[in-house]
Structure 1
Amino acid sequence: MMRRKIVILGSTGSIGTQAIGVVDGAPHLFEVVALSAGQGNLELLASQAVHTRAQAVGTSAQDASELAALISATAAKAGITGYKPQLFAGADASTQIAQIPSDVVLNGITGSIGLVPTLAALRSGATLALANKESLIVGGSLVKDAAAPGQLVPVDSEHSAIAQCLRSGQFAEVDKLILTASGGPFRGFSREQLHNVSPTQALAHPTWDMGPMVTTNSASLVNKGLEVIEAHLLFDIPLDRIDVVVHPQSVVHSMVQFVDGSTIAQASPPDMRLPIALGLGWPDRVPKAASACDWSQAVSWHFEPLDVVAFPAVDLAKDAAKQGSTFPAVYNAANEEAVYAFHAGKIRFTDIVDTIEAVLSEHSGSSQLSVESVLEAEGWARARANQILDSSSDPSDSHNAGAK
């Protein structure tokens, strides 16, 4: 593999910080040329910039002066002179950073705000290592049509696993895709038991270390619903041939079942460095990117069906994807607003998916998918979700937001 120039969007998040670790472990293979992040942790962004000597750095803050001062101070403290990267600031910073000449753009932004940077990265001609599943889900055909063959590489562990398993056969030989789900912290809970769980409990994921939005989505299985839509779009497999199975050990990351009855699974200890490294190096593997399973030890792996009564988010996502248009964007936007309300103590955990369902039931879709129609649908969904959420009583009330 030739040494690749890497751009990292969302560098201060979970994916971004681990990606820098992957680059640090293989400096002969990768070089970070640009970074972008939100304004929530400018100190870390400055530290990353100095550490990687990125040529360009972007922040969503309206003014880059604070970032510039932090970079200067961090460089001086490290005894580094003459380092002054090109700075970008404002809402379009990540989009501008995505267009910096590179071999690979890793989009690790959380949420649908990653759509425009995703499209910009594809237009740049770089390989897009996509951890920002929301941009594909809400963008749908916009993203697929913008991507050249082989340009879009999945970084989600499940979709990375599927991409690896698909190497075992031809497309026509694929029977179904099987996405594994850890079940989150509430595996085995009934819907009634889920009513009064706390935000702290929702963030206590048993196997993965992720940001608060993705962790909460994992607890509600909304994340798995989004991943089903993503798999459908990435691999052109019909929704009725994509299954979800609960696997609490999170060692088998997903599977592909072929028409002859064979199932190929990808297994590795739960560590995002492996799919990140694959995303950066695809189709080549990065030696020692992560630890392998220890086959000298006795282990047991457990699989069980998904409880669709307690966790209806996956079926709801499939329904949204079948309707197409802007329905997946509405699903995602309504969920994000409900998750914020849950962590603010305004609603119960079960109100999250109930709110998504209520908002989807009122949506009529758009006749033509475009960035503008997606943004319009998202804006409507967020406003409608908040109307429903604001009409809800406190979490101890016996009613839920979706029923109001």
Structure 2
Amino acid sequence: MKRTLSILGSTGSIGRQTLDVAQVCGHQVAALTVNRSVELAEQQARQFQPQLVVAVDESAAQDLKQRLADTSIRVVGGREGLMEAATLPQADTVVTAVVGIAGLEPTLAAIDQGKRIALANKETLVCAGDLVMRRAEEKGAEIVPVDSEHSAIFQCLQGCKDRGEVKRLIITASGGPFFGKTKEELEHVTRAQALRHPNWAMGAKITIDSATLMNKGLEFIEAMRLYHMPPQQIQVVVHRESIIHSLVEFNDGAILAQLGTADMRVPIQYALTWPERTPGPATPLDLLTCPPLTFAKPDPDTFRCLGLALECAQKGGTSTAILNGANEVAVELFLEEKISFLDIARLVEGALERVASKPADTLEDVLEADRAARQAVRDLLI
């Protein structure tokens, strides 16, 4: 089935690869959104000829409008444009590749229109998972995960008629560039070292999250919400080769795993074509040349971000929004080289101690927790 896409965050890693898939598989592109990457946005717009292009940054929108003045493409700026792209009537599928909690409200808006959500923004479910999943069920919107780990679980569950048969979800982690390091060795990690992921080419924020293992903690919380699983039925396992993307264990002892190359175009394409499978641009896995597969326990004490995420998974409520908001600010500070690598976890833990958790019953509850967490991190720096 050919789909018509609205891609939120088209110039990021997921957005660019979604356009690769769209080109090869013949999907139409109705809307593209960017923050301020004007030059690449212009190239994408000219190639795919969407009806709408949005630059959230107003000055970037003005620049982009001038660049595309010789076309019939409508250019809009600001957050209102992002919301319009998420709800564009011509698009049946919205790819949410915006980074951070900024993706929450447009995802909810797309859900309200009954769109298929190709979900690449894990923070949406981390911060407001129960709210989002409940809204999707009410509106009849499909949420199909794009994260390689959750896509793997989603694929393994396709043959499962009764979720009561599932004993455990097993999420694999590469371990990032610092697997096996001690806290003392991590104290002087540099920005460049943390951005050197061994297997995946990703954006800066998610690459740092992979280095701290926060990414795996966020995925743990996301799996709870996406698959309605209690934390005791989810496990994180370090799998350095990133060939098995996740596994599902059933009550009879059988385990299903999804294997593939470290190519995000596979889960992106499946999110667009499900329940069908079609040829695509990704290179298939060659079992005769892939390395031996290894597994190890993660270390949530050394990688404190993972430990904090697992604690918040147990606690629930707005604690997960506090965790995420504090982490977003701390990672930004690290990328700006204003704090050390281990300060990321220290600041997140400090925010969790300062901001009280409560039930996440409304969107405002979630957004207020996020605001308070961000302010707590800034206050801790004073």
Please give the secondary structure, in 2, of the residue aligned with 1:257: strand
When residues 322 and 298 of structure 1 are mapped into structure 2, their CA distance, relative to the original with a 3 A threshold, is closer
Write the distance in 2 (CA, Å) between the matches of 1:180 and 1:94.
33
Shift of 1:71: 1.9
The reply to whether residue 376 of structure 1 matches residue 368 of structure 2 is: yes
Q: Does 1:34 align with 2:26?
A: no
Q: What is the CA–CA distance in structure 2 between the aligned matches of 1:138 and 1:51, rounded to whole Å? A: 35
RMSD: 1.5
1:235 is the counterpart of 2:223: no
Is the 2:6–2:86 contact (alpha carbons within 8 Å) kept by the matching residues of 1? yes
How far apart are residue 174 of structure 1 and its match?
A: 0.4
Whole-angstrom CA distance in 2 between matches of 1:298 and 1:196:
33
Of 143, 154, 165, the residue aligned with 2:156 is 165
Paired amino acid for 1:325: G
State the match for 2:143 in structure 1: 152
2:129 is equivalent to residue 143 of structure 1: no
Q: In the alignment, which of 86, 101, 105 is matched to residue 98 of structure 1? A: 86
CA distance in 2, matches of 1:384, 1:299: 45
SS across alignment from 2:246: strand
Look up the equivalent residue of 2:136 and give its one-letter code.
Answer: A
3-state SS of the aligned residue for 1:162?
helix
Q: How high is the TM-score relative to the length of structure 2?
A: 0.95
Post-superposition shift, 1:344?
2.3
Amino acid at match of 2:149: E
Corresponding residue for residue 20 of structure 2: 21
Structure 1 unaligned blocks of 5 or more: 77-82, 392-404
The range that moved more, 92-101 or 177-186, is 92-101
Query: Hey, what does 1:86 align to over in structure 2?
Result: 74
Distance 1:294 1:227 in 2: 27
Give the CA deviation at 1:150.
Answer: 6.3
User: 1:253, 1:265 within 8 Å by CA — same for their partners in 2?
Assistant: yes
Q: Which amino acid aligns with 2:297?
A: P
Query: Aligned partners of 1:297 and 1:135: how far apart in 2?
Result: 37
Deviations 1:149-194 (A, max 9, x none): 5611100000000000112333111000000000100011111111
Count, aligned residues: 377
* Match status 1:265 vs 2:261: no
CA shift for structure 1 position 209? 0.6
Aligned CA distance change for structure 1 residues 187 and 103 (closer, same or farther; 3 Å): same
| Farther-moved stretch of structure 1 (154-163 vs 285-294) | 285-294
What percentage of aligned pairs have identical amino acids? Answer: 41
In 2 relative to 1, CA 364–256 (structure 1 residues): closer, same or farther, beyond 3 Å?
Answer: same
Equivalent residues in 2 for 1:108-127 (5 A)?
A: 108-127=97-116
Alpha-carbon spacing, 1:237–1:289, altered in 2? closer, same or farther (3 Å):
farther
CA drift of 1:314 comes to 2.4
Which of 284, 296, 314 does residue 306 from structure 2 map onto?
A: 314
Candidates 35, 40, 48, aligned match of 1:52: 48
In 1, distance between residues paired with 2:315 and 2:99? 24
Give the aligned residue type for 1:379: R
Gaps in structure 2 of 5+ consecutive residues:
none
Is 1:61–2:52 an aligned residue pair? no
The offset of 1:367, in angstroms, is 4.5
Q: TM-score, normalised by structure 1?
A: 0.90
Whole-angstrom CA distance in 2 between matches of 1:367 and 1:25: 44
Report the AA paired with residue 106 of structure 1.
Answer: V
Q: Which runs of 4+ in 1 moved over 4 A?
A: none
Cα deviations by residue, 1:70-125 (Å, 9 ceiling, x for unpaired): 223xxx6xxxxxx3222221122211110002111000000001000000110111
Per the alignment, residue 8 of structure 2 pairs with 9
Q: Which amino acid aligns with 2:30?
A: V
Residue 297 to residue 209, structure 1, CA distance change in 2 (3 Å): closer
Instruction: Determine if the alignment matches structure 1 residue 196 to structure 2 residue 185.
Output: no
State the secondary structure of the residue aligned to 2:58: coil
Report Cα offsets for 1:314-352 as digits up to 9, x if no partner: 231122133222111110110111112222222221111
SS of the aligned residue for 1:304 comes to coil
